[in-house]
Structure 1
């Protein structure tokens, strides 16, 4: 993510920012507590604390702070978590990790078997994990997910209590970078079996092994706390005693709480961004994400490529980002900019220019595609619905898109439905939408983090767009360790998708935050906030 000056530390492309030298802020007020208690605002609810089931940044941020895997993200890439050392075989297919002695929050040891259990649970088709695809490349992971091999054949095994051996089917250039992502964290089998269907649905139905333990989340409430974990192996590095979270969907509410000294950090909307931009407490956090429209091709109207193209060409992205304010930039690619460098150039520069034009404002061409699409459908008008979250920025985006599309596409009636974040995720995952305003933030610094989502068999391909050549190119990119070849394959695949408007890119995300100047040591990685080393000065 990023900061005051948008510092970007490129380690396998990941964008990271640590608050190591924050200058004095615009506000002279102190933090909400002098006892190492932090108060933080989030815009959406937790959906789950189950590492096998989570898909959103709010939940992942909770896991980054309450759990720990082999590595943790740092401003310089990855830093050891539970792994004290790692060796790689000459052929690059076998990783051996030695683990430190550590404990779960109930005092029982964290062992290599906890990793074996967690990974096996995630790839098990019965778990229905949307992130199971990230295990592709680990021996037998794909076959297990396709029901062709038993879960026990996964390429991971425990050697004694504190050694973990992972076997790959092919070299994976980004394998180590995956290890700091929550889906690869260990899980306590005892807790999963004890809580059953309740596992991960509330604070009390979890086992923690990270810097903090979560308290007070019931599964639906809008406030909870993280408390310092007295059993964490590196507890001496943890300075905060408590983090109090509150969900504030309206930035003005969060601002009022900040001004009354009840919040230490909150995200800004367009008006507040204009007001505070340039202040020393203001931070611009480019999160490696893209906001885009998913178009459900199970809907006959949206299965028509000309209708999709008309929609994309009707969006004035420059005007939209101006309305939203902040530092968001118009997007003409699905993969976020500044995510990966290829021979010194941004990956997105490799994408076909003609493909990018399909994600630019061109109302006259939009009208031609619209007319052609309606003729193919045998219709003179269409009524469509756009699903968004009920946050202030999401509502503003929906309203702007409604106005742009209806004014440019004669005969279109676009309704907008704004629902709580958790509800939007559920409807999206169930395919209960026509158009959906979505965003994706890279899990690690490689285009594959975006592009694999749109392969035909991926569970997160909610719009059901399919293209066999796209699938072939993505598969090819994962079969080689030649970075230039990988990027060439992926850029060609993305060009195919953009020309067909498989999804419609809208803007590259750049979050704006106000954070008190005496809050130090925080780390923001791709929208996940890590407070392990944070403190109040």
Structure 2
């Protein structure tokens, strides 16, 4: 889970900007008439969860924290890796040793950022007592497996600091995308003395955290839907941080967000339905950004035993008219997913992974075949009726998705009764992690361009395998791609393609759609970074055009 190299996503597309033109009143300004600093107002699709670096599980929190904290490297605009706290690094010829050299940097409390801060943080994340949901991001670091099996102490993890300015990683196997991982939230540094002084309160509010990045998070109490990013004057590159304050506003209702944007209360928003996209389509505000988000439906095999029947799963997928939903409800450029891995994220010899691994029958609307599979499956499980509930977010888009599935798709299957539950994102994530649902809409967004980011999700023991699906051959192929074939691009590609086909032929998940990123932004906000596989919004180089 989430998102780190990947994240569970919410129902409203999260926002990013690259400096677009405005319509209406131009409110994005940093100076009021009385000379005081005025924040720009940015829309967020969901509330923050935990800003403890080791416990971040969702994209909104990750994007917020990665603007306030900085790791060894930064996954910047358009996915280009740039130096962060590390000014340089080297990789050994065998790809198993990474050595990072740190620049002079400070925490927001004025103390120095040291190599030991990185070592402590990463080992804390791997420590089973921390209960991190993303420690598997460290699975290639030496001794990780033995630590997870209880055979070694977390202190034996293969990362160390020979001095205050050097961090060294020893890997058990080469990891082609490791440079992207160290730019993620769970590789951020943590100052041991500060963490220990805060105890259980660490990262639970903005006052229980310190920051080494361009901004500080302020005004977050742990439950509220508005918080601030304020310039961190202790940041090593503070002279190039041009925007002093960004107010983040959670907007769950599409009409409220639209009204606030047009009245000047928001300087950026994400149009969230067909009507809103059409409203802005010809405006100079409007832009569509690239995205790697895949939304899919997970069926909890343990809660509803009938979901273990492959024919019933195939029927549930085939009965969904994805294009009807995307064209008539979303209308934002999102398109039907071909599988678990998003399109345009990775290719080999000119072939996109989503095309190479496509299993048409697992992601295509075919109502007549759906009825056949459903009747066959019902006979096999010995049932005449099945009831289940779909869990998702309480935003406008979240409700639209569950209502469509309930009323325009699944109700066509005889003997099936579906109810829906829509709750706040934070509560939904907690229930997903606890496997407390019958079926749920979920999704994944990667922060590095590799199919393994998605495919790892469905390995048997992954904490985000919300289906509890398990396949020995699948696990074996993913393991080969991560170990014995890691330095062989052709074999590794073949491993991953075969694995995705196993998953989709067995209908382990129900693919739904790949997101588009419609956005409107005031004309004078410039140079906010964005990457389909990385930051949704990076304010470190943004500025206000006077």
Task: Give the TM-score of the pair, scaled to structure 2.
Answer: 0.92
Label 1:179 to 1:278 Cα distance change in 2 as closer, same or farther (>3 A). farther
Contact 2:125 2:132 in 1 (8 A): yes
Contact 2:411 2:417 in 1 (8 A): no
Distance 2:364 2:211 in 1: 46
Partner of 2:323: 318
* Runs of 4 or more consecutive aligned structure 1 residues displaced over 4 Å after TM superposition: 17-20
Distance 1:535 1:223 in 2: 22
Partner of 1:307: 312
Partner of 2:214: 211
After TM superposition, list the pairs within 5 Å mapping 1:459-470 onto structure 2: 459-470=463-474
Partner of 1:424: 428
Partner of 2:224: 221
Partner of 1:534: 542
Distance 1:287 1:148 in 2: 40
Which SS does the other structure have where 2:173 is aligned?
A: coil
Contact 1:140 1:155 in 2 (8 A): yes
Partner of 2:44: 42
Partner of 2:283: 279
Post-superposition offset of 1:462: 1.8
Distance 2:263 2:277 in 1: 19
Contact 2:20 2:522 in 1 (8 A): no
Which SS does the other structure have where 1:380 is aligned?
A: coil
Label 1:536 to 1:249 Cα distance change in 2 as closer, same or farther (>3 A). same
Distance 1:255 1:337 in 2: 30
Which SS does the other structure have where 1:95 is aligned?
A: strand
Partner of 1:96: 99
Post-superposition offset of 1:253: 0.9
- 2:264 is aligned with 1:261: yes
Distance 2:149 2:522 in 1: 49
Distance 1:517 1:308 in 2: 47
Which SS does the other structure have where 2:67 is aligned?
A: helix
- 2:248 is aligned with 1:245: yes
Distance 1:471 1:175 in 2: 21
Distance 2:362 2:441 in 1: 18
Label 1:429 to 1:468 Cα distance change in 2 as closer, same or farther (>3 A). same
- 2:187 is aligned with 1:181: no
Range 78-87 or range 67-76, more displaced: 67-76
Contact 2:320 2:410 in 1 (8 A): no
Q: How many residues align?
A: 518
- 2:464 is aligned with 1:456: no
Post-superposition offset of 1:28: 5.3
Which SS does the other structure have where 1:525 is aligned?
A: coil
Partner of 1:190: 193
Deviations 1:74-113, CA, capped at 9 Å, x for gaps: 2361010011111122222111111011111111111110
Partner of 2:3: none
After TM superposition, list the pairs within 5 Å mapping 1:29-428 onto structure 2: 29-31=26-28, 33-34=30-31, 35=37, 37-75=39-77, 77-270=80-273, 271-298=275-302, 299-322=304-327, 323-352=329-358, 355-428=359-432
Contact 2:456 2:462 in 1 (8 A): yes
Post-superposition offset of 1:193: 1.0
Q: Where does structure 1 lack aligned partners over 5 or more consecutive residues?
A: 1-16
Post-superposition offset of 1:325: 1.4
Distance 1:368 1:386 in 2: 23
Distance 1:379 1:91 in 2: 56
Partner of 1:5: none
Contact 2:20 2:526 in 1 (8 A): no
Distance 2:290 2:531 in 1: 10
Label 1:163 to 1:406 Cα distance change in 2 as closer, same or farther (>3 A). closer
Distance 2:355 2:522 in 1: 37
Contact 1:387 1:416 in 2 (8 A): yes
- 2:437 is aligned with 1:433: yes
Distance 2:265 2:22 in 1: 16
Distance 2:408 2:381 in 1: 22
Which SS does the other structure have where 1:372 is aligned?
A: helix
Post-superposition offset of 1:23: 5.5
Label 1:130 to 1:216 Cα distance change in 2 as closer, same or farther (>3 A). same
Post-superposition offset of 1:427: 0.7
Distance 1:48 1:285 in 2: 27
- 2:30 is aligned with 1:25: no
Q: Where does structure 2 lack aligned partners over 5 or more consecutive residues?
A: 1-14, 32-36
Partner of 1:9: none
Range 168-177 or range 402-411, more displaced: 402-411
Range 518-527 or range 31-40, more displaced: 31-40
